[in-house]
């Protein structure tokens, strides 16, 4: 029992320290290549913080525990939006350009709507939603489109 608490505490400390290193490295990278912090946040930091979730989701998919995958994604989004933005906003004001909000929020909402449309199958039970491999491919291509769209829009200024 003690070992479980110890491993949890150790894991928490390592996650916090790893996040500290990730942020320091991302800021240094942004300054070295003269890239905006928002671009680094949407790329390097986003991939770095999402990698553990991706591993959990892939392993859960292989074990056919789809509810864990969906719960992980929804819980992560709630934590990132409510806890992450909330605590950061309590510590210091968050200054963000309106143009970024106008682009990112509609894309996020479009993603949520797309997930629902891909999961809801007419004629099947409304309590059971399934995202097929085709749906997964559409979502992955949507992510690729957003990523390229964002990087191209940053080049234009």
Dihedral sign of CA atoms 145, 151, 152, 156 in order? positive
pLDDT in tens, 21-43: 988 888 888 888 887 777 787 77
* Separation between Cα atoms, residue 107 and residue 86, nearest integer Å: 21
Put residue 103 in one of left, alpha, beta given phi > 0 → left and psi -120 to 50 → alpha. alpha
pLDDT digits (tens, 9 = 90+) for 110-132: 888 888 888 877 666 666 778 88
Q: Record the pTM.
A: 0.70
Distances (CA, A) of 109 to 51, 112, 116, 134: 22, 5, 11, 20
Residues counted in the chain: 157
Q: Where are the domains of the chain?
A: 96-157
Q: How far apart are CA 37 and CA 125, in angstroms?
A: 45
Q: What is the share, in percent, of the chain residues with pLDDT greater than 90?
A: 18
Helix (H) / strand (E) element for 3: namely helix 2-32
Query: Tell me, what's the pLDDT at 140?
Result: 92
> What totals of helices (H) and strands (E) does the chain contain, helices first?
7, 0
> Tokens 């797309």 label which residue?
114
Q: Which of 53, 24, 29 is nearest to 40 (CA)?
A: 29
- Euclidean distance between CA atoms 102 and 32, whole angstroms: 28
Contact between 139 and 118 (Cβ < 8 Å) = yes
Per-residue model confidence (pLDDT) at position 157: 59
Q: Is the pLDDT of residue 150 over 80?
A: no
């Amino acid at each position: 029992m003690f070992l479980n608490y110890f491993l949890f505490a150790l894991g928490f400390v390592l996650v916090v320290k790893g996040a500290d290193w990730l942020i320091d490295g991302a800021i240094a990278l942004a300054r070295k290549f003269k890239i905006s912090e928002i671009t680094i946040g949407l790329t390097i930091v986003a991939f770095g913080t999402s990698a553990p979730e991706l591993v959990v989701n892939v392993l859960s998919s292989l074990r056919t525990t789809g509810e864990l995958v969906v719960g992980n994604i929804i819980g992560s989004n709630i934590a990132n939006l409510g806890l992450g933005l909330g605590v950061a906003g309590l510590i210091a004001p968050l200054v963000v350009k309106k143009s970024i909000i106008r682009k990112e929020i509609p894309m996020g909402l479009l993603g949520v709507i797309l997930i629902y449309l891909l999961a809801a199958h007419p004629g099947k039970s409304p309590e059971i939603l399934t995202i097929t491999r085709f749906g997964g491919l559409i979502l992955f291509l949507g992510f690729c489109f957003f990523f390229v769209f964002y990087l191209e829009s940053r080049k234009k200024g």
